[in-house]
């Protein structure tokens, strides 16, 4: 296999990680709503933690995106 | 730089180039006024106008003053819940950070390209800007931490009540996660904005290429790509606000570590 094909395949594989992060982000917001609808009074106080969890889950997906971009544009 | 044969170059929009067309080089350094600098100035000017219109100190606030007070109140509440009463000292820094990032993100999304010859530039889609802001925050955490606690600040890396045999493992991990903070903070904002702008550019290219392909399947592709752009633009507005909020929120949490040491 030549390098150009391998790069495109590698970038595609790296993109799987972005989908996994999508599951994680969905899980964060889904679990938050799950709890918030059971106890709406406590929901507002937990919004900071919601976004911390969102940020942590999202960062890992963004790193997968960076890896894909690095493979596509930086690897010679 | 684009992939061969596709004709789409989504990276071109991130090119930093001089506004006047020619470079200004002094002592071997390129000091030309770039589009990046121009959009930072525009962002700062918009922010200045926004604050100027709002700081009227009326007893019954008008719409504009209510908007500005809403933003300051939002940041103040965030600092109060995350840092406690001592967080009030850091409100000016967090507020400037949050508002600058919010305005920069939104200005980068502004559809300037409908005017021929102009195109918007998202300054936050460059790690050179986001990393500097992240290192400001990190440096402030270090200064505040060592100023208030001296060498006792290092107890941050040993969680309270850890047995010594676990502390041997946990301390290096805590140290690493502390040192990685400025990088993750800068990287998150930069990559989120870059990814969104690439996505918009790719779908916009689909619209143009579909129209050029003539009637038939090309126009169908064009139509659905256009619908996609509307959806992605709405999502990007949300992301612009969330990323600015997350940057400010994480900075306030790190400051909380420095002020209160767990």
Residues of A in contact with B192 (CB under 8 A): 58, 62
> Would an 8 Å CB–CB cutoff place A16 in contact with chain B?
no
pLDDT digits (tens, 9 = 90+) for B27-82: 877 778 888 888 999 999 999 999 888 877 777 888 888 888 889 999 998 899 88
Residues of B in contact with A59 (CB under 8 A): 184, 187-188
Asked which of A53-67, B14-28, B140-154 is least confident by mean pLDDT, the reply is B14-28
Which distant-in-sequence residues (6+ apart) come within 8 Å of B240 by Cβ?
A: B102, B105, B106, B108, B109, B193
B6 — pLDDT class (breaks 50, 70, 90) = low
pLDDT of residue A9: 93
- Residue B133: which of B101, B177, B99, B109 has the closest Cα? B101
CA-based nearest residue in chain A for residue B9: A73
Residues of A in contact with B245 (CB under 8 A): 51
Residue B126 has pLDDT above 50, yes or no: yes
Q: Tell whether domain A3-73 is in CATH 1.10.1740.10.
A: no
The better pLDDT of the pair B144, B160 is held by: B144
Which of A48, A54, A65 has its CB closest to that of B191?
A65
DSSP secondary structure letters along B27-67: TTEE---BHHHHHHHHHHHHHHHHHHHH----SS--HHHHH
pLDDT of residue B7: 65
Instruction: Record the tokens describing residue B203, joined without a space.
Output: 């779908």
Q: What percent of chain B has pLDDT over 90?
A: 39
ipTM computed for the complex: 0.82
Residue A34 has pLDDT above 90, yes or no: yes
Reported as type and span, the H/E element at residue B26 is strand B25-26
pLDDT of residue B47: 92
Domain ranges of chain A: 3-73
Give the predicted TM-score (pTM) of the model. 0.87
The better pLDDT of the pair A33, B162 is held by: A33
pLDDT of residue B4: 42
Mutation target to probe the B interface, by most B beta carbons within 10 A, among A6, A12, A62 is: A62
């Amino acid at each position: 296999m030549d390098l150009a094909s391998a790069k495109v395949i590698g970038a595609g594989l790296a993109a799987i990680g972005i989908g996994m992060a999508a599951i994680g982000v969905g899980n964060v917001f889904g679990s938050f709503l799950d709890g918030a609808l059971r106890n709406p009074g406590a929901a507002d106080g937990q919004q900071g933690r919601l976004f911390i969890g969102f940020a942590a889950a999202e960062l890992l997906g963004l790193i997968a995106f960076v890896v894909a971009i690095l493979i596509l544009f930086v690897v010679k | 730089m684009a992939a061969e044969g596709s004709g789409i170059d989504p990276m071109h929009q991130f090119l930093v180039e001089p506004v006047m067309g020619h470079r200004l080089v002094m002592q071997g350094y390129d000091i030309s006024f770039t589009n990046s600098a121009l959009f930072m100035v525009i962002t700062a000017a918009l922010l200045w106008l926004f604050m100027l219109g709002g700081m009227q100190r009326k007893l019954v606030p008008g719409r504009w003053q209510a908007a500005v007070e809403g933003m300051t109140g939002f940041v103040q509440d965030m600092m109060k819940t995350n840092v406690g009463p001592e967080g009030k000292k850091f409100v000016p820094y967090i507020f400037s950070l949050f508002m600058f990032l919010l305005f920069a993100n939104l200005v980068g999304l502004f559809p300037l390209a409908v005017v021929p010859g102009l195109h918007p530039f998202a300054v936050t889609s460059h790690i050179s800007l986001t990393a500097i802001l992240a290192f400001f925050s990190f440096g402030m955490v270090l200064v505040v931490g060592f100023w208030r606690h001296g060498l006792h600040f290092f107890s941050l890396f040993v969680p309270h009540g850890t047995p010594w045999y676990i502390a041997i493992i946990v301390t290096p991990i805590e140290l690493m996660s502390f040192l990685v903070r400025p990088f993750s903070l800068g990287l998150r904002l930069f990559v989120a904005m870059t990814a969104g702008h690439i996505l918009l550019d790719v779908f916009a290219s689909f619209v143009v290429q579909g129209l050029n392909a003539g009637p038939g399947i090309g126009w169908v592709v064009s139509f659905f790509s256009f619908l996609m752009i509307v959806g992605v633009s709405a999502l990007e507005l949300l992301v612009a606000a969330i990323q600015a909020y997350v940057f400010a929120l994480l900075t306030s949490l790190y400051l909380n570590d420095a002020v209160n040491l767990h």
